[in-house]
Each structure stands twice: as C-alpha cells, then as structure tokens.
C-alpha cells in the first residue's frame, strides 16, 4: 500500500481557517482519486505535503473518519476508506432507516417555502442535461426534504451519508445505461405530492420504496462485479 508523499502541487495553506482548509485539502485528496483505498495517511507526510502543522491535519483526519471517508486502525493509523459499491450499499441501508422518517416528519412540518424548494429541485433534475446536474438536483431534493423537518441534526446526518463526489460518479454512469433520471423524477414528484398534501404515511412508504429501488440496482451492479 502506498504512502502519502510530499508534493509541490499541494502548496501551503493560508494561516486563516487553517483547520478547515486542511480538511478541505485532505478531503479533496482522498476523493479525487490520487489516493487509492487502503493508502496510509501519515500525519507527518500530509503536514509536509500541504505546508501545515500536524495539529490541523489530525483534526481533519478525525472529521474525515467521522464521515467514513478514512478509517482509523489502532497501531496502524489512518487509511483511505473503500468508497466502492459495497460502501455505497451500506450507506443506502442506513438511509432506508432514516429517510422514510424524514419524509413522514416533513409531511407534518413543511411550509409553502419548503414545497417550492422541493418542486424546484425536481424541475432542475428533469431539465438536467448530464449526470452531474441530475445527481446534484436529486441530492438537493432529498436535502430540502430533510430541512423541511426543521431538525438540523437530520440534515447533517443525511448530508454525511450522501457524498457528492461519489454520487456524481455513480449516477453519471447509471444515466448512460438506463432511464434512471425519468424514474427518479417521477418518484420525487410522488413523494413531494404526499408531503405537500400532508399524507405522512404515504410519504414514508414512497420514500422507502424509492431507496429500496436504488439498493436493488446497486446490489445487482455490485454482485455483477
């Protein structure tokens, strides 16, 4: 397994907001494909690469571990996590437990502005011309629904489960081989209608079915290899 090496390309990080900048740089390094799953993330090497002290590097690695982007192993340190289909399926399984409840709560707590946001995201997804645009609008729909609950903890947890860069890569691939976007838009319209009309049980059921269909697709892809 490879180690992180010092590289001129990283450049020093400005002293202001050094902890956040360290997090952003290391996160980009992990998700950008430079470091393969299993790559050791040494604090000294990362500090040298980005021209910062070890303390913000350590804080950044802890945040990334909380998000599941890196793994900590006793006596072995931090390593890049595997973000392949198996990891995606684990996160989708968590979402089957989380998002139906979000939809139920949103149906009872939403206001007119929330509904406008939901339908706006749906229209952006319907008009999307590529996988990145479609993914981002789809994710916005789910995040807007979480915000409609009025519970920021639900927003935070959902956001940590749905990694933008991984989702863009997967859905761009899926959009090339299926009618995924049209199906996703149709299902989002059904969920939004249930939420707008205050039909909490329908919203909960529709969201569960929505995520289970995604699991079925990606499980098939994973088993196919």
Band (pLDDT 50/70/90 cuts) for residue 192 is very high
* Whole-structure pTM value: 0.76
Number of neighbours of residue 72 by Cβ within 10 angstroms: 14
Report the C-alpha gap between 118 and 138 in whole angstroms. Answer: 10
Question: What pLDDT is attached to residue 177?
Answer: 66
| Summary mean pLDDT of the chain | 88
Note the pLDDT tens digit of each residue in 95-141. 999 999 999 999 999 999 999 999 999 999 999 998 889 999 999 99
Bridge partners of 77, per DSSP, are 73
Superfamily grouping for domain 85-224: GntR ligand-binding domain-like (1.20.120.530)
List where CATH 1.10.10.10 sits in the chain: 18-80
Class of the CATH domain delimited by 18-80 = mainly alpha
Band (pLDDT 50/70/90 cuts) for residue 57 is very high
């Amino acid at each position: 397994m490879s180690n992180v090496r010092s590289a001129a390309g990283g450049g020093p990080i400005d002293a202001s907001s050094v902890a956040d900048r360290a997090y952003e740089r290391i996160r980009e390094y992990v998700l950008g494909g430079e470091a393969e799953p299993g790559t050791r993330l040494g604090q000294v090497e990362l500090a040298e690469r980005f021209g910062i002290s070890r303390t913000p590097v350590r804080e950044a690695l802890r945040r990334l571990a909380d998000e599941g982007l890196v793994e900590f192993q006793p006596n072995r340190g931090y390593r890049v996590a595997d973000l392949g289909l198996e990891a995606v399926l684990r996160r989708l399984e968590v979402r089957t437990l989380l998002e139906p409840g979000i939809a139920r709560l949103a149906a009872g707590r939403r206001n007119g502005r929330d509904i406008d946001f939901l339908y706006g995201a749906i229209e952006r997804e319907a008009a999307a011309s590529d996988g990145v645009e479609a993914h981002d609008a789809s994710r916005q729909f789910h995040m807007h629904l979480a915000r409609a609950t009025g519970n920021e903890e639900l927003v935070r947890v959902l956001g940590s489960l749905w990694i933008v860069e991984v989702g863009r890569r997967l859905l761009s691939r899926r959009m090339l081989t299926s009618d995924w976007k049209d199906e996703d838009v149709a299902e989002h319209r059904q969920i939004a209608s249930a939420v707008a009309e205050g039909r909490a049980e329908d919203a909960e059921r529709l969201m569960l079915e929505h995520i289970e269909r995604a699991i079925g697709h990606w499980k098939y892809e994973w088993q196919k290899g």
